[in-house]
Structure 1
């Protein structure tokens, strides 16, 4: 549950005072995000089969195509993927992980995939614009917790530049690294502490990277940097989140942050391109329970939310925000 709290204003760039959070776990329909569906649709593969997963299902869209990755819903720790809305599921050879994988657009129509190896190293691979597979490669000198995912953002539509954020492999700290199109750069310390992991997105409106994490007090924190600059420090946006939050920026520049409460219900809050909140936290109106942190995926102005349910580990998706005020 999200409790009523008041927060001091954070004088960070153009970020201003944050408003009072909602009191109850019962949302008002008028408070839902613009364009939010009041229902979830089942994720499907192999034509018309339900998609089941252990962990968070990640998906990305690029060049008019959809690619999904997930961890097998069994004890094998294998990673699987599918191409297209209901495409054939196939195993990602050479990838075994105790953490959920992630995927982001790569170039104009390709994709970059990431997973945490059972040795704690971070591995990545790419499908280029012609869907040629690179194979898995470890990112030198960067490790994370064995069961902790990483988060990656494409830095600009059509770009081959990326930013990756992850939890330290040895403590509760957080780190990030740029890929400049050719190689991974030295890691940056993001500051702060988390029991889960940070997530990151690129904002096309302000050309800023935004990172989000759940602090050790269970509140959600954001911070930003302009491309190639320094991080400006974490500021609280409230909430009471179980596990990692997720963040995504619409093509309009407006952003959405999502997370689970302690009863596994999903909540959202929207922000403009400068990190100013557009409304309070609102609970998803359908009351489905998420077994793991949700994933936000962008298609132009629209942001989609993906969850794996607590009841049977089935994947669902919905439009959670259309990018408008």
Structure 2
């Protein structure tokens, strides 16, 4: 008797399994095997261009101090710094003043922190910072011939760059609690520089050289050397 019951249970389980495979049981999905699983194809998607408005004359810069947060900058027709932010939706353009004669550069060194740099009318480096509120413009001195760049490899660490002086050399100024003097980093550059920090204590700088090729210079504090 026990043997008959056991055999009956085995048969019932086999029938249930077969019905599940065929999808015959209401609400049951057919069991997928390796051969019939369709590959999931994910392709990168570029959005269409969108018009953010404004009346702008010179260059752009952008920074982000949090996921989903964007702050973009440009120079208006009256040479003031124009600012537009995104935090789920775009806000209206904001006039941040100044009298600027180069494209701006911007970086966020910490949450709710932005630092913006540009050349002023007298070709000196101008700086404006945000830390929950916008602070007044300050001059960082120097006399430059071309553009600005900035990067940050740690909270409240700032490195800013511009081209000027003899042979269009790269000039460098940094902040780590206080501003240091301008230092010449050499080179013979014929464009505004671009700078980025992709890990702590590392900076990479790019600019176009005399022969119109891309020039590259890097710095790493732990290696105690630059190239």
* TM-score, normalization by structure 2: 0.74
Cα distance 1:216–1:243, how it changes in 2: closer, same or farther (>3 A)? Answer: farther
Cα distance 1:262–1:98, how it changes in 2: closer, same or farther (>3 A)? Answer: farther
Runs of 4+ in 1 over 2 A off after TM superposition: 106-109, 273-279
Cα distance 1:160–1:254, how it changes in 2: closer, same or farther (>3 A)? Answer: same
User: Is 2:103 aligned against 1:149?
Assistant: yes
Q: Deviations over 1:137-157 (max 9, x none)?
A: 0003x1202xx210111122x
Alignment match of 2:195 (pick from 247, 264, 268): 247
Q: Which residue of 2 aligns with 1:210?
A: 159
Inter-partner Cα distance in structure 1 for 2:219 and 2:118: 23
Higher helix content, 1 or 2: 2
Inter-partner Cα distance in structure 2 for 1:190 and 1:85: 41
Inter-partner Cα distance in structure 1 for 2:206 and 2:139: 24
Matched residues, number: 183
User: Is 2:117 aligned against 1:165?
Assistant: yes
Alignment match of 2:180 (pick from 214, 222, 232): 232
Q: Is the 8 A contact 1:203 1:273 kept in 2?
A: no
Q: Using CA pairs below 8 Å that are at least 6 residues apart, which structure has the higher relative contact order?
A: 1
Cα distance 1:179–1:201, how it changes in 2: closer, same or farther (>3 A)? Answer: same
Inter-partner Cα distance in structure 1 for 2:118 and 2:189: 18
Inter-partner Cα distance in structure 2 for 1:274 and 1:209: 17
Alignment match of 2:138 (pick from 174, 188, 203): 188
Q: Is the 8 A contact 2:196 2:205 kept in 1?
A: yes
Q: Deviations over 1:98-143 (max 9, x none)?
A: 2121111132321101010111010001111xx2111100003x12
Cα distance 1:135–1:276, how it changes in 2: closer, same or farther (>3 A)? Answer: farther
* TM-score, normalization by structure 1: 0.53
Cα distance 1:136–1:236, how it changes in 2: closer, same or farther (>3 A)? Answer: same
- Unaligned 5+ residue runs, structure 2? 1-43
User: Is 2:91 aligned against 1:137?
Assistant: no
Shift of 1:265: 1.2
Cα distance 1:211–1:174, how it changes in 2: closer, same or farther (>3 A)? Answer: same
Q: Which has the larger radius of gyration?
A: 2
Inter-partner Cα distance in structure 2 for 1:112 and 1:244: 21
- Unaligned 5+ residue runs, structure 1? 1-83, 280-325
Shift of 1:273: 4.2
Secondary structure, counterpart of 2:115 in structure 1: strand
Shift of 1:199: 1.6
- Aligned-CA RMSD value: 2.0
Cα distance 1:273–1:92, how it changes in 2: closer, same or farther (>3 A)? Answer: farther
Q: Is the 8 A contact 1:126 1:134 kept in 2?
A: yes
Higher strand content, 1 or 2: 1
